[in-house]
Amino acid sequence: MPKKENVATATPAVADHLAATLRRLRAERGWSLDRAAGETGVSKAMLGQIERAESSPTVATLWRIASGFRTPLSAFIQPPVHHEKPAFRSAGALRDRPASDAMWVAPLFPYDAQLGFEMLELTLAPGYERHSEAHLAGVVEHVIVVRGAMEVLVDGCWHTLNEGEAVRFPADRPHGYRNLGSEPAVCHNLICYTGIAVPEAARPAADDLRGVIGKSVPGR
């Protein structure tokens, strides 16, 4: 059985959207739970629990699932926002916990296949640390700190980024994020999938999924 996380789970609306997205992606690919487990490296039992909204995965598990399905992370959090029209977005309204980690994610601009990137606002709670496995080959990340200070693990070294500082790094190798301070750290995370074949089918279809993200702000 997967280890029970010792922190609160994601909000039910997010867990439901995640469950529905995973079920739909698996149906579109025609993958059995066995095949999905093989592609993602996430156990069949865990995938089944996520599909039934019985379990909140960690962000690391979410990324493993996204990479296995060759899908951007934001597909599991919110439907895409099309770029043909102006889109005004509010991180304050979008911020929520998509996973059981002490990290809040606001999908400012979810993945758009034609533009090839997603832009997230991340809030790392004090003490939060996450090691990320390699994303798909060619993925490049940008981290721009907008409040507080944090560290980014690049090429095996932790680098401190203060407010207004930024880093771009190849994310198709192990990397990490942490906040050793006593205040939340907020950054923008621009993830580029340029040149990577992300299936169009990864796009959520229904507009009625919009607004599933509730408002939930970490202690501030």
- Contact range with Mn ion by CB under 5 A, out of 7-15, 24-32, 70-78, 166-174: 166-174
CA 195 to chain CA centroid, nearest Å: 20
| Residue least distant from Mn ion (Cβ) | 132
The distance of closest approach from Cβ of residue 176 to Mn ion in the complex, given in angstroms and rounded to an integer, is 8
Give, as one character, the DSSP assignment of residue 96.
Answer: B
Site for Mn ion in 121-160 (CB under 5 A): 132
Q: How far is the CB of 68 from Mn ion (least distance, A)?
A: 15
**Residue with smaller CB distance to Mn ion, 42 or 171:** 171
Tokens of 104: 């809040």
- Return the beta strands (E) in the chain as ranges: 103-112, 117-124, 129-132, 140-147, 150-154, 157-161, 166-170, 175-178, 185-192
Pairing of strands 117-124, 157-161: unpaired
Task: Determine, following the binding rule CB under 5 A, whether residue 49 of this chain makes contact with Mn ion.
Answer: no
Question: Based on CB atoms, which residue is closest to Mn ion, 49 or 132?
Answer: 132
Q: How far is the CB of 140 from Mn ion (least distance, A)?
A: 10
Structure tokens at 178: 């942490």
Contacting residues toward Mn ion, per CB under 5 A: 132, 171
